[in-house]
Amino acid sequence: MGVEDVLFQRLGKVFPPGTVLFRDGERGKEMYVIQAGSVKITKEIRGEVQTLATLGDGEFFGEMAILNNKPRSANAIVKDEAKMLVIDPKTFEAMIRGNTEIAVRMIKKLAQRLEEADHQIESLMLKDSNSRVVHTLSRLADSSGQQTADGVRLQMTVTEVAGKCGLDTEPVKEIIGKIANAKLLVMDDEGITIPSVEKLRKYLEYLTMKEQFGDL
C-alpha cells in the first residue's frame, strides 16, 4: 500500500460534484489536499460571482484558516468528484514539524499564490472575457514561458489557462481559437506558442480601449 493510500485511509474523503466545502466569510478549521478531481474557488466581486481558480490533483487550499484563524476569503465548490485529504490544525502542525520538505513546499506555494493574486486582481478588473484571456496569456508568457525559435512556448492546456483566468474551458477554447486565427498564437495538443508577446500585448491594449470606450 502506497503512502497516498495510507494517508487517505486516515484523512481522506470523497466529495460529489457541487459540494460546497466552505463559503466566503465562514470560520473554518480544515484545509484540503486534492488527490483526484477538481475544485473551483470563487468569490463575489462587484455583485458577480467570479471563478478565481480551478484546482486539480496535488493542489491544496483552505490553509489560511489554519495559519491565521481568520474567516474564509472565498468559496470552495467541488467541480468534478474529488478525492481529498481533510487536515485539521493538529495534523497540519504535526506534518509541518515532522517533514521539512512539506514545510518548504508550502512556503514556496504560498509565495507563488501571493504573486498570482496580484496578477489575478488586475485580470478580474477586466470584465471582457477576451481581455482576461489575453492578459493571462501575456502574463504566463513572462512568468513561465520558454523561449524557442518559434516564439514563447507555454506547456499548458486550454483547461489550465481557463483555470488561471477564472473562466470555464469552453469559452476560453473559443477565444483562443479566435486569437489563433489572428495569427497571434499557435495551439497544438501539447501547448501554446506565442510568436510575438509584444503583439499580444498590443492586442490587449486594443481590447482594453474597446472595453472602456466602445467602438470609436
Quick check: 63 and 56 in contact, CB under 8 A? no
Backbone angles phi, psi at 51, to 5 degrees: -85, 115
CA pair distance 33, 58, nearest whole angstrom: 7
pLDDT at 16: 97
Q: What is the DSSP string of 101-160?
A: HHHHHHHHHHHHHHHHHHHHHHHHT--SHHHHHHHHHHHHHHHH-EEETTEEEE---HHH
**E runs forming strands in the chain:** 12-15, 20-22, 31-45, 48-55, 60-61, 75-87, 146-148, 151-154, 186-188, 191-194
Residue 98 has pLDDT above 70, yes or no: yes
CA pair distance 135, 5, nearest whole angstrom: 40
Residue 19 has pLDDT above 90, yes or no: yes
127-176 pLDDT per residue, tens: 678 888 998 898 888 888 899 999 999 998 888 888 777 778 899 999 99
What's the CA dihedral at 76, 81, 82, 88 to 10 degrees? 60
Mean pLDDT of the region 189-193 = 90
**What's at 76, amino acid-wise?**
A
Residue 63 has pLDDT above 80, yes or no: yes
CA pair distance 210, 216, nearest whole angstrom: 8
- Domains of the chain by start residue, with CATH: 3-124 (2.60.120.10), 129-213 (1.10.10.10)
Distance of CA 170 to the CA centre of its chain: 16
What's the pLDDT band for 3 if we cut at 50, 70, 90? Answer: low
DSSP-derived secondary structure letter, 83: E
Quick check: 45 and 27 in contact, CB under 8 A? no
Mean pLDDT of the region 15-23 = 96
Using CA atoms, how far residue 18 sits from 25, 38, 119, 154, in Å, is 19, 11, 28, 31
pLDDT at 211: 64
Which residue would you say has higher pLDDT here, 212 or 88?
A: 88
Choose from 66-75, 102-111, 174-183 the range with maximum mean pLDDT.
Answer: 174-183
Using CA atoms, how far residue 129 sits from 87, 151, 182, in Å, is 35, 24, 17
